[in-house]
Amino acid sequence: MQRLTLLFIFFPFFLSAQSPYEIDRNKETWILGLGVATYLNGFILEKRLDPLSLDDILDLDRSSLSRFDRNATFKFSTKGDQVNDILLYSSFSLPLFFLQAHKSRNDFGKILTLYGETLLTTSGLTYLTKRLAKRARPFVYNELAAISDKQKVSARFSFFSRHTAVTASNCFFAAKVFSDYYPDSKLKPYVWVTASIVPALSGFFRVQAGKHFYSDVVVGYSLGAAVGFLIPHIHKVKKDKRISFYPAPTGIRITWNIR
């Protein structure tokens, strides 16, 4: 069964019949390539990144932060952190719904491919941006937090929130795929509302834990939601292919077919 599942993952496009999605080798190569490239760049940058020194930490000043972000520097909760992990790891299981649902069951390999791209894109962008921004986490400003935690390289990965971005990406991906397979379902509004709330909760608890500023989670939420929505969207079978989006070497290629 494990072999069969792997087969589904790597050869998904043999399985679809009446699928709302189509897979294009060219498009998938670009998306996966960009995802891997962001990871590699992030990895190279991390190798060059030093942790904050004790003097750097003691020089940090809350008053230099915007009022919007400053409150997070007073928060420090390990419980908030635990709730976040539960939300994040639970959201990874969402695609399994489509393995069980009868309309998407035969398309599961394709869905997994799209999910893999979604996860890779969100995580890759988060991974790279954190290492470019090098923003100190809010707890680094907090006198109650341990110096040893503040002197880890990861204490500089505040912008933007990976937990929130990946949770948003998972939830919005699941909601989008559900909507595409069941466009007439009465459950759609509930699915979208739930998909919106869960990553917001994740963001809230990340701030409570002192791991992120509000701006980190707002950006993480927005990016995760956008990727989770757009990856399935750009793979939809176009009934009227008047406008199409493709990744291109210089960015995204938009084609408008005038008939």
Partner 1 sequence: MEYPLITFDYFIIKKTYSMKENLLIVTILLLLGSCEKINLPPITNLTVNIEADSISFAIIGDFGEAGDPAFKVSELVKSWSPDFVVTLGDNNYDRGELSTFQENIGQYYCDFIYNPDAPADCQCNGMATLEAQNKFFPTLGNHDQQNANYSQPYLAAFTLPGKETYYSFRWGPAEFFTVNSGKNGEADCCGSEQASWLKTALLQSKAKFKVVYFHHPPYSSSNHGNFTNMQWPFEEWGASIVLSGHSHLYERVNKIDTDFYYVVNGLGGRKKIYGCNVNPVDEIDLEHFCYNETHGAIKVEANNDFMKLSFIAIDDPDAKIDEIILFD
Give me the least distance between CB of 168 and partner 1, in Å please. Answer: 18
Q: Is the dihedral of CA 151, 153, 156, 159 positive or negative?
A: negative
Instruction: Decide if residue 55 touches partner 1 (CB under 8 A).
Output: no
Q: Which of 2, 18, 100, 148 binds partner 1 (CB under 8 A)?
A: 148
Give me the least distance between CB of 55 and partner 1, in Å please. Answer: 12
Q: Which of 27, 45, 46, 70 binds partner 1 (CB under 8 A)?
A: 70
Instruction: Decide if residue 144 touches partner 1 (CB under 8 A).
Output: yes
Nearer residue to partner 1 within complex by CB, 91 or 142: 142
Task: Give the DSSP letter string of 162-182.
Answer: HHHHHHHHHHHHHHHHHHHH-
Give me the least distance between CB of 213 and partner 1, in Å please. Answer: 10
> Cα–Cα distance between 138 and 72 in angstroms, integer?
6
Nearer residue to partner 1 within complex by CB, 181 or 214: 214
**Residue pair 206/71 in contact by the 8 Å Cβ criterion:** no
Mask for 193-232, x = binds partner 1 (CB under 8 A): ---------------------x------------------
Cis (ω within 30 of 0) for the bond into 8? no
**Residue pair 133/154 in contact by the 8 Å Cβ criterion:** no
> Cα–Cα distance between 196 and 167 in angstroms, integer?
10
Instruction: Decide if residue 63 touches partner 1 (CB under 8 A).
Output: yes
Q: Is 86 helix (H, G, I), strand (E, B) or coil?
A: helix
Point out which residues bind partner 1 (CB under 8 A). 57-58, 61-64, 67-68, 70-71, 74-75, 142-148, 150, 214
